[in-house]
Chain A
Amino acid sequence: MTLAQIANALGLALLTQEQDLTQITPSAGYTSDMLSCVMSGAPQKSLWITLQAHVNIVAVAALLELSAVIITEGAAVDAATIAKANEKNVILFSTPLSTFEVAGRLWELGLRAG
């Protein structure tokens, strides 16, 4: 399942620059809002769901080569975070949905914990 299919199914808003999302297939799903846990627990190339919108999420996503980050509950993402993500080629999505709902829907779509 590609990021394009996921973004379409969940109605995710892409915050970062346009790119071909049909070419990216997340390896797994992961969720935590504590970056130290993410750094040690998120599978490589996985799709990370969080409501933490601090700029440090970009560095963590780049470090683990995550497929994308879905920022939930409409958490405010500042311009500096988006600029940093574009610079590091990290894909950020935003959604008003809760982390629970996003994870549930991704599971239904067939994504697993890895």
Chain B
Amino acid sequence: MMIRYKTSNTFPKGGIHPPEYKLTQNVPIKPLPIPKSVMIPISQHIGAVAAPVVAKGDYVKTGQLIASANGFVSSNIHSSVSGIVSKIDTIIDASGYRQNAIFIDVQGDEWVDSIDRSADVISKIELAPEQIIEKCKESGIVGLGGATFPSHVKLAVPKDKKCNTIIINGVECEPYLTSDHRLMLEKGEEILIGIAILMKALDVEKAMVGIESNKPDAVEHLKELAKRFPGISIHSLTVKYPQGAEKQLIKTLTGREVPSGKLPIDVNAVVHNVATAYAVYEAVQKNKPLIERVVTVTGKSLPAPGNYLVRIGSPVSSLIEAAGGLPDDTGKIVSGGPMMGKALQNTGVPASKGMSGIVLFRASESTRVEKIACIRCAKCVTACPMNLEPHLLATLSMKAMFERAEDEKVTDCIECGSCSYTCPAGRPSLDYIRLGKSTVMKMIRERNIK
């Protein structure tokens, strides 16, 4: 049966409706004061760790390259402040492990001369497609939706494949987060120019921006602006988590289904986040590398939740301070959204390129519910947007039956957390599925080497 789902504008199967708590959707973006010192991790992206090109005692300017990409799938890292490199040492970052980071003691705010810091909006795109891709690579642009995949890799489409649609992700389906929402409202034109740049780089005529209908102001604003941009269409989508997942968004907007184990480019689409489009605009038109990003600092217990323009490397404590200080009963701090974000171990963790939000939970709401026996209610099956059977995958992983888990397509899991969220028995299915997925991925890699 080839029934296209058009009655409601969303992906057809699975999904959940967590409470939104978009506490900060009306709070304008404010620049966060530059902290006294920053710690810039040299691995803020998927792929090879960048190699530091500065040494202890060096003076660096804001926007200066401090670690260079190590291979194709890797990304440059720039200094987000000006000052003296105090040391290169390990720090526990958002990954949960010790990583090398460049520590810089801030002195003033002296920018690299070539960066255009004026507020003018430049809409004329002068660079050629190759130059745009090169610029993205130089400027250390990575996917800002959270996955931090280097953008230039996505833009360099293999010769045998062709992209005909750019999908721009303005869905922001995670509860609490509003950074993309605010960015679309305040930097709408820049985002659209960024999209036009991406279209030029990929040589495509069509770009579709997907925004969930709980952000009507952003939809209207961009629709109004998009009249001046041929080929860019704005789509209001029915609210459902995980609409912002790459494969689900492509399905919603184009009706194409990315085959199991394949990439969006296999259905002639490339997906970028709105924040990435903005970063591309800044890199290409303003010559500004990726040294700051918008972070939503929120939580029901925070006195003044808000959206902040944060220099990369600022400690999370400084963000929380700006939002009114850490409440005493904080039980958990999550980097990213509550559905897919990572819990932080302390507030000394530096802000990185992939940090879209900081969400604080009270101690009372931060612990998991007690896990009881599975009653086979199949709610996880209904909720799974990939139409997998989470209960089965979890059991197989728990019992270390990884070969069978592979047959059941554990590798298709997008780790959206809908199964764990919806489980009435409070079973953390995704914890087990992640273990199964990573083990099976390793098995597949080892097999491919042989």
A associates with B: no
Question: Which residues of A does B touch, CB under 8 Å?
Answer: none
